[in-house]
Amino acid sequence: MDTNLNTSKVKRFLKNKNTVTALCAILIVVVLVVGYTWRVNSATKPVNIPVAKVTIQPKTEITADMITIIKVPREALKGNYYANSSALVGKYSNVNTVIPAGSLFYQEAVTTKDNLPDSSLYDVPEGETLFYLTVNMLTSYTNSILPGNYVDIYLSTKENGKALVGKLLQDVKILAVKTSDGQNVFENSEEARIPYVIIFSLPEEQHLLLRKINAINSYSIYAENSSFSRIEIIPVPTTANFGNSNEQITSNVSSQYLKDYVLSMAATVPEDVPSVDINDNINNNSENSQTAE
């Protein structure tokens, strides 16, 4: 009996419009207070953010030891920044961008290696030197020599009234193909670009061979009564298939005869020339001057 009476009172209480309105108002206030408290706590609660531990110069690879973690109130963070240090390692500081020590890593200040200008030139193996070879649509096989491809280097010249043609180097990896104004030919662009130079790197001995050929060609043009014949350097796409191997393929001399031919027309700078101390020269000259007086 008492139970039924209590139930009846509750029903009458809930049917009262003023009561329902008051309950709704209280509920709304509670929701607002809880929501506001949550937002304030979220905004002021410190979060872990990666910042530069040292000043990072432009076009520098970001490594783990360049990053430190600090706590910053979320409300103080503005702009598009990196919130995770693992997403930064291996990326590069952008061109003309210095990231000061203590600074956040903003997305516009960070880029990938592939998006850097001349990014391919970062792949030069240790101990090798870059070489730029002039090409055109014909010698580039109608723009068919691509970065990452391999070519063989042939020579063409005249010796004793006869044509001399042969392969000097083989398995030379192309690093970049550029236009006359330095743009990458195969960059994503709607513009049709004409190749002007192909860029590759070579071990120093092979690099000097090609440099000597350039010097011989210059001398054959400007020297009077020159007995040198111009030597044409011809890139030819190789038929070798290296697949997706991660093995480092190194170029090598294919013809000792052609190597000796080039060397026979160029002198080699001796490597055992003793170094000269400028201060010693100054002191000697000073002593000689005083003696003469």
105-114, 118-127, 171-180, 195-204: range with lowest mean pLDDT: 118-127
Angstrom distance (rounded) from CA 213 to CA 219 = 10
Q: Which of 125, 218, 209 is nearest to 168 (CA)?
A: 209
Mean pLDDT of 146-164: 90
Instruction: Give the model's pLDDT for residue 282.
Output: 46
Angstrom distance (rounded) from CA 112 to CA 173 = 22
Q: Concatenated DSSP letters for 103-148? A: -B-BGGGEE-GGGSTTGGGGGPPTTEEEEEEE--TTTTTTTT--TT
For 1-18, the pLDDT digits (tens) are 455 545 665 555 556 566
Instruction: Give the model's pLDDT for residue 226.
Output: 60
For 223-270, the pLDDT digits (tens) are 554 667 889 999 999 877 666 556 678 889 999 999 998 988 887 777
pTM above threshold 0.85: no
Tokens of 200: 């590759």
- pLDDT over 90 percentage in the chain: 34
Instruction: Give the model's pLDDT for residue 72.
Output: 83
Instruction: Give the model's pLDDT for residue 16.
Output: 59
